[in-house]
Amino acid sequence: MAYSKSRYLVRRFQLDPSLIIVILLLSIVVISGFVLSDRFGTTRNFMNVLEQSSGLGFASIGQAMVVIVGGIDLSIGAVVTASTIFMAAVVDLHPGLMIPMIFGTLLFGAMIGFCNGYLTIKTGVHPLVVTLGTASILNGSVLIYTLQPTGGVPYWFEEFAYGRIWNVPISGLVMLSCFALTWLFLRYFQAGRAFYAVGESPEAARLSGIQSSRVILLAYSASGFFAALAGVYFVSRTGVGDPRIGDPITLASITPVILGGLILGGGKGNVLGVLLGVILISLLGNLLNYMNISTFIQWVIQGVIIIIAVSVYVDKGEKL
């Protein structure tokens, strides 16, 4: 009975079975939050979490797109760092260029992503190695330019990170709409459907008339674009370019992707699951902070959650 009911739910809401675990974990966190802390379950707190999760959210969208086409992007953190420096340094010299520089930074990120994709396709080297290489080059260049936070942006730009519309954070709204647009794109557009085909099997996709290399280029460019968007968010939040800010983002961006039911090796998954993953990680961190649990234990919990999630999902034979 219970079995058929869950089957019904899965079919009725087109629920990916792999999403069940993230929904389960999310409900555990929310329920224990309401029980354990009286400050957790307030609108104010939820809005704060939404605002703080935006950076991770942007980075995860890009990572998700690359993972769907069967790759992985380990340069996301480096792109985040480089774009914060690029933006803050240029705007510091020419404050008038604030608005154009937002688009300039996004373009900059997309271009680096494009290079990643191009190198992956042209050299045939594993994306892990290619993106590691570009990350190393970017980090080295940034650290030669500066060793400490540098540059600055006009004060009003913090509105992007901290501003509210009807009490909803602007950055959170931007993140949610990015997720929605990506979801629509991947689900209802021909080019988006091609992402899954290429992830499943690039060769089969090529034979059925999809230009695999274009899809892969698009995925990596999108990854760079969203990493740069995360960079713009961090500049807005901190007001400076920080040569170390992206370091934890690379690996952090992979966790929600995995929790959301995407599989390394590609071809499967739903970006809305990734959004749930981002919310889960952020709410969990928030709850553990309220419970006064040390950051170090939070790391352990995060690692254990990854292990639980990946050992419950049945992975595709192909491994990374």
Partner 1 sequence: MSDVKSIRSYLKIFKQLGGLIVPLSLVILVGTAILLQPSFLSINNVQDILTQAAPLALVVLGQAFVILVRGLDLSVASLMASAAVLATAFNAASDAMIPVIFLVTIVASAGVGLINGLLVAKRNVSPFLATLAMMIVLQGIRFYYTQGAPSGSLPEGFRVLGAGRLAGIPVNMLVFFFFFCILGWLLHKSSFGRKIYITGGNPKSANLVGINADRVTITCYVICSVMAGIAGLFLVGFVGTVDNWVGRSYEIDAVVACVLGGIMLTGGKGTLWGAATGALILILIFNIVIILGLPVQAQLIIKGIIIIFVAGLFSRSTQH
Task: State the minimum distance, in angstroms, from the CB of residue 258 to partner 1.
Answer: 6
Q: Which is nearer to partner 1, 194 or 274 (CB)?
A: 274
Task: State the minimum distance, in angstroms, from the CB of residue 190 to partner 1.
Answer: 29
Task: State the minimum distance, in angstroms, from the CB of residue 172 to partner 1.
Answer: 26
Q: Which is nearer to partner 1, 60 or 139 (CB)?
A: 139
CA pair distance 75, 77, nearest whole angstrom: 6
Residues pairing with 207 in the sheet: none
Residue indicated by tokens 């004060």: 155
291 binds partner 1, rule: CB under 8 A: no
Which of 47, 137, 168, 173 binds partner 1 (CB under 8 A)? It is: 137
Strands (E), 164-261: 164-165, 168-169
Backbone angles phi, psi at 303, to 5 degrees: -60, -45
Return the closest-CA partner of residue 317 out of 269, 267, 257, 274.
267
Q: How many residues bind partner 1 (CB under 8 A)?
A: 47
Q: What is the CA radius of gyration of the chain?
A: 20
CA pair distance 136, 75, nearest whole angstrom: 8
Backbone angles phi, psi at 241, to 5 degrees: -95, 130
Return the closest-CA partner of residue 51 out of 129, 132, 167.
167
3 binds partner 1, rule: CB under 8 A: no
Q: Which is nearer to partner 1, 79 or 119 (CB)?
A: 119
297 binds partner 1, rule: CB under 8 A: yes
DSSP 132-153: HHHHHHHHHHHHHH-SS-B---
Q: Which is nearer to partner 1, 110 or 135 (CB)?
A: 135
From the list 50-58, 187-195, 278-286, 295-303, the region that binds partner 1 by CB under 8 A is 295-303
From the list 13-21, 100-108, 278-286, 306-314, the region that binds partner 1 by CB under 8 A is 306-314
Which of 19, 119, 262, 274 binds partner 1 (CB under 8 A)? It is: 119
Q: Which is nearer to partner 1, 264 or 275 (CB)?
A: 264
Task: State the minimum distance, in angstroms, from the CB of residue 80 to partner 1.
Answer: 16
Q: 72-101 mask for partner 1 (x: CB under 8 A)?
A: x-----------------------------
Helix (H) or strand (E) holding 44: helix 43-68
CA pair distance 65, 35, nearest whole angstrom: 36
CA pair distance 243, 81, nearest whole angstrom: 6
Which spans of this chain sit near partner 1 (rule: CB under 8 A)? 72, 119, 122-126, 128-130, 132-141, 143-144, 251, 254, 258, 264-265, 294-304, 306-307, 310-311, 314-315, 317, 319-320
